[in-house]
Amino acid sequence: MDSHHGDGRGFATKAIHAGQHPDPVTGAVMTPIYQTSTYVQDGVGRHRGYEYARTHHLTRAALEGCVAALENGSHGIAFASGTAAIHAVMTLLSGGDHLVAGENLYGGTHRLFQNVLERFGLSFEYVDTRDASAAEAAMTGNTKMLFVETPSNPLMRITDLAAMREIAERAHCMLVVDNTFMSPFFQRPLELGADIVVHSTTKFLNGHSDMVGGIAVTNDDEIAEQLRFLQNAVGAVPGPLDCFLALRGLKTLPLRMERSEATAVELAGWLTEQDAVTAVHFPGLPDHPEHELARRQMSGFGGVISLEFGDGAAARRFLEGLEIFQLAESLGGVESLCSHPGEMTHAAVPVEQRERMGLVDHLVRLSVGIEDPDDLRSDLEQALTKV
Ligand SMILES: *Cc1c(COP(=O)(O)O)cnc(C)c1O
């Protein structure tokens, strides 16, 4: 799809070049890691656009420009983590404001909303956003934001973003979408009417599991100005080395996403045929309840699969039996990972709510990396014999 931002170049070209210019002093092709906190001024009050690194940072600006271009957005504002990016977006609101959020959110996002932001007077209503009428019904005269994660983590439920856009418009509230699971390679929510897209750059965008970071992207100049103000005023900025690593990771985003998705499609289909596996959640499967919506809204199905076993003990035997898939939190790296969402990423969500959301004890999540597909399948096969 063509970009309306910048030069109309293709995705892979933008992933390598957008936001980046050869260093004016040396001609260095790669963006330098400007490891500095401050900048010398030419005279009192006369600087070169850079005063202090919390406020202005060139390595960070290159990352922001690149991700913004990939999302077809005009502004990127980077943060020290995905959680910090979501927190910054929430601080656009004020005490007393109401939000409607998807009920199947990343555990840390849920913890931020419930255990931190509620104390500052924000109130949240959680709904199953697969049901647009439920989202609409939750809107009050005071609802200022609709916050959605699609596909959801870890059950891979899909929310219709165009329907959310209409609801947000009628309610005069902002639509914010966490696009971490798809990356802009497979899904671009701003094109579907989102006001803000947030990412944990820790995951697919960086893709090498060697930094933690986040970013918010928007096409709205006013929102961007406020987020830029908050980035500086609150101060959860990423360091220069982390920005450099994310920029380097982005260069191979299309190749990594393609490979990870192709393997995930193959493995998901194969997993449905295994007796020990009682359910497979992957939007690329034809019997996934929102498969048709996923085909319309995304240009691929991503690299995350969740699956269920007969009971929690079987799930644990499977997880502990895997050898190439490493048992670890996180996803979206070149290496394959596996996790137990209930005990790991979503441990912060209260048990009753976890069960209501379908985050059962026998659920396992796989993040499919870019190793040889045959090796990954053999690994799953040998672990299944231990179940
Ligand atoms: C990991 C993750 C986050 C939080 O990002 P951090 O970089 O770990 O703070 C938010 N949303 C989703 C969907 C995630 O997977």
Catalytically annotated residue among 9, 54, 228, 377: 54
Query: pLDDT tens track of the chain, all 387 residues?
Result: 333 445 689 999 999 999 999 988 999 999 999 999 999 999 998 999 999 999 999 999 999 999 999 999 999 999 999 999 999 999 999 999 999 999 989 989 999 999 999 999 999 999 999 999 999 999 999 999 999 999 998 899 999 999 999 999 999 999 999 999 999 999 999 999 999 999 999 999 999 999 999 999 999 999 999 999 999 999 999 999 999 999 999 999 999 999 999 999 999 999 999 999 999 999 999 999 999 999 999 999 999 999 999 999 999 999 999 999 999 999 999 999 999 988 887 777 778 878 877 888 999 999 999 999 999 999 999 999 999
Residue nearest to ligand 1 atom 8, measured at CA: 82
Closest atom of ligand 1 to 213 CA is: 7
Considering only CA atoms, which residue is closest to atom 5 of ligand 1?
Answer: 82
pTM for the structure as a whole: 0.96
Q: Assign a CATH topology to domain 254-384.
A: Aspartate Aminotransferase, domain 1 (3.90.1150)
What H or E segment, with its residue span, contains residue 149?
A: strand 143-149
214 CA distance to ligand 1 centroid (A)? 8
Q: Which pLDDT value is given to residue 286?
A: 97
| Upstream peptide bond of 286 is cis (omega within 30 degrees of 0) | no
How many Cβ atoms sit within 10 Å of the Cβ of residue 279? Answer: 14
Check 106, 126, 144, 316 and give the catalytic one. Answer: 106
Which one, of 158, 162, 191, lies nearest residue 302 by Cα?
158
Q: Is 144 a catalytic residue?
A: no
For ligand 1, atom 1: residue with the closest CA:
200
Domain 11-250 has CATH 3.40.640.10: yes
Output the pLDDT for position 360.
87
Contact (CB, 8 A) for 358 and 155: yes
Q: How far apart are CA 53 and CA 223, in angstroms?
A: 22
Ligand 1 atom nearest to CA at 330: 1
CA 157 to ligand 1 centroid distance, Å: 17
Domain extents for the chain? 11-250, 254-384
